[in-house]
Amino acid sequence: MVAENIRVQCSICNKGNTTYLCRGCSKDFCFQHLTEHRQILDRQLDEIINDHDQFQQTIIQRKHNPDNSPLIQQINQWEKNSIEKIQQTALQCREKVIKLTQKSINDIEKKFIELSQKLKEIREENEFNEIDLYHFQLKLTQITEEFLQPSNISIRQDSKEFINKISVTSPLEQIQTKKNKFQQFAITVAGGNSGGYGLNQLSSPWGISIDNDKSIYIADSWNHRIIKWKLYSKIGQIVAGGDRQRYQYNQLNDPTNIIFDKKNNSFIISDTGNKQVIRYFEQNRTNQQIIISNIKCMGLAIDKNGFIYASDCENSEVRRWKQGDKKGELVAGGNGRGYHLNQLNYPTFIFVDEDYSLYISDKDNYRVMKWRKNAKEGIIVAGGNGEGNSLKQLYYPGGVIVDHLGQIYVADSRNNRVMRWREGDAEGEIVVGGNARRYGLNQLDRPAGLSFDNEGNLYVVDHDNHRIQKYEKI
């Protein structure tokens, strides 16, 4: 505060005595009220110093006792609540197991008493032969197995977690961990029992579609069927085709891809061998519609408007089809087979993003092309450096999908690996596979279709191993 002696009125008492100007608040005070004003400022300074000292003490305490932070307390409370929930569920399950086990033991005991009585009778009568002994031994074995492993009691773990997960994040950490990582050893979720026609087998599968329940719809190509594999199931369920009369109406011939049309509650199937794309209703297997004819389509996609995209590998083009179209609209290629940016060479798998940009596995050009909406030519976003196994090359690319960060995943078929590229990168990185062409859980044999489930886990169609592999996100 700087005081200046001038004759104006005091801002407190309004007297015109000698006053002093406070440069802080720009008010004038007489000597008495200037003193009071100064005392008020002194008290305010003391309060600030006190707050400062208290905060300094808080820093010291937090530094030496990090476990007392509010975030740690929040984690501790979550742990306490979760443990209580687990203990309560475990108690209920134990009580139920004890009750069911006691009932099972009582039932087995009755069977055992009956068997004992019959054994006693034949021993007393001394009339028995090899057949009687075989039946008694079989019955005793059955009772023993039923006692040791009751078939009516099992533990089921729900895939939907009943404990809310928590995690700790920071903006810096989010930037550094944008690229998802996956377990390198896969879980076989369908097939894997060599190639065959059984319901526990697949034969050269090609494309897949995964619903919110993690059921997998598989284009089981060489079995000429679409098979649905539910979560944790050991066998699949045929939902289309599969009668081997593949040239007849309502049958499939080498289907290669399947997508779900939410708007019409139906599946779209590329019936490649019959050179058509059909709409299929799972609830009514006799109700199917041919929506595109005379096309060798190996890749399908659908945008948020419900428009269908189909790759035509014979004509090296991709067209977009609206409902009722007689001829689709050309959206990529269509300039003959070639390697220029306005050409394609045997396009197979395709993917369309939220901006209607189209990603195309340009198989015989060993590259993935991106065609933006209304573009006259595409740009190379993966491969394009000839066939090979370096990180800047692809060798017959297959399935292609793009995650929410714009990262492009490619099934690098002949290199037996899945690659990830960012638009503009000179080379990609190996996500899974790349460990030679075999059937180990960390190996692939000519991977085809790719997909994510609603938790971000990666699914790979392991074509020549006749199985679907799930790589869990880390």
Between 264 and 301, the more confident residue is 301
Q: How far is CA 99 from the centre of its chain?
A: 39
pLDDT at residue 251 tops 50: yes
For residues 306-328, average pLDDT: 92
Q: What is the pLDDT at residue 172? A: 42
> What angle (nearest 5°) sits at the alpha carbon of residue 417, between those of residues 415 and 420?
115
Return the SS3 of 104.
Answer: helix
Dist CA 226 CA 243 (whole Å): 11
Dist CA 409 CA 331 (whole Å): 22
**DSSP H helical segments within 126-188, as ranges?**
130-148, 171-176
Q: Homologous superfamily of 179-473 in CATH?
A: TolB, C-terminal domain (2.120.10.30)
Q: What is the pLDDT at residue 398? A: 97
CA 397 vs CA 219, 388, 450: distances in Å: 18, 11, 11
Q: At what angle do helices 70-125 and 130-148 cross, to 10 degrees?
A: 160
| pLDDT tens profile 260-295 | 998 888 899 999 999 999 998 877 666 788 999 999
The lowest-confidence range among 2-6, 18-22, 32-36, 411-415 is 2-6
Return the SS3 of 286.
Answer: coil
Report the percent of the chain where pLDDT is more than 90: 52
| pLDDT tens profile 418-471 | 999 999 899 999 999 999 899 999 999 999 999 999 999 999 999 999 999 999
Buried b (16+ CB within 10 A) or exposed e, 14-43: eeeeebbbbeeeebbbbeebbeebeeeeee
Beta strands in 8-105 (DSSP E): 18-22, 27-30
| pLDDT tens profile 330-339 | 999 999 999 9
pLDDT at residue 165 tops 70: no
For residues 72-78, average pLDDT: 85
As a residue count, the chain comes to 474
DSSP structural state of residue 437: B
The per-residue DSSP string of 353-409 comes to -TT--EEEEEGGGTEEEEE-TT-SS-EEEEE-S-S-SSTT--SSEEEEEE-TT--EE
Average pLDDT, the chain: 87
Dist CA 174 CA 148 (whole Å): 50
For residues 309-338, average pLDDT: 93
CA 22 vs CA 9, 47, 356, 422, 465: distances in Å: 13, 21, 66, 63, 87
* Owner of token pair 């015989």: 364
Report the percent of the chain where pLDDT is more than 70: 90
Q: Say which residues have a Cβ less than 8 Å from residue 63's Cβ, sequence separation at least 6.
A: none
Domain ranges of the chain: 20-63, 88-174, 179-473
